[in-house]
Structure 1
Amino acid sequence: MTAFEQAVRTLKRNGYKTTGKRQRILEILYNKKKYMSAKEVQDHLKEMFPGISPDTIYRNLHTFVELSVVEETELNGEKLFRSSCDVHGHHHHFICTECGQTRELELCPMDMFQGQLPGCEVTSHRFELFGKCADCCLAV
């Protein structure tokens, strides 16, 4: 079963209908495999669903994040979304600020901080690297 098929199954298991709009949003994110803004997703939906509202897109994207079938980050004050990774388990990302492509990083820097937080319990963290990917660096 593909990651896309698993995402659709997760929607159904959680009581959500797999409407054409929802399926198309997931297809876009799972085919692109990069972080995209809601506006970029809307641009891809224009032909098939010309009247789709930004609210509908945001509502679905946030539902997908809650169900862990889509990942969310923030760059320059804008929320960006991408399909969940093929890498299972704890990992982080390098995100190209030019094209949005991502690479999974398996190394976690949290071990370096344990000694600096005596008596504390870290319950969550987020670590992302931003820059230009090799292809975007060559394009300059």
Structure 2
Amino acid sequence: MRIAFVFYVLLALLSCSGVSAQVVSQDSLKALNDQKKVLALNKRLNDSKIELAKLENQIPHAVDETASTAERAQRSAEENKVAAGNLSTDPQDKQLARKASKAASAASRDAKRARKAADNLAKLRRNVDSLREKIKEDEDKLALLAPN
């Protein structure tokens, strides 16, 4: 009888132990979700900063490329002008016509390269500005989420 009583008490304790399991409060869930958001924001912020550094390192090369292509286009335009002047003195000369045509093609090609280089530089600068703005917004969000 005594053994049966101890057995029933133990059985009752075991059945009640599931009921008294620890309950996670809403505050701790919110804190965990906030930590998760902070970690995700930090990761995105670091990735953005790495990308910004890469883009900023490309700017000097793009500036040099733009300057050199513009200079080359200017030279080609001058050469085209000279070739056209030579052709105007003797419009029937086939060799001068060919040289003028090649000079015009070179000037056109170099001008196109100069425009592309300038467009690439402008695009690169827009991307840098956009990324800086995104980083600033993420830093502001992080300051709101994790006031340290």
TM-score (norm 2): 0.20
Q: Greater relative contact order (Cα 8 A, min sep 6): structure 1 or 2?
A: 2
Structure number with the higher strand fraction is: 1
Largest Rg, 1 or 2: 2
TM-score (norm 1): 0.21
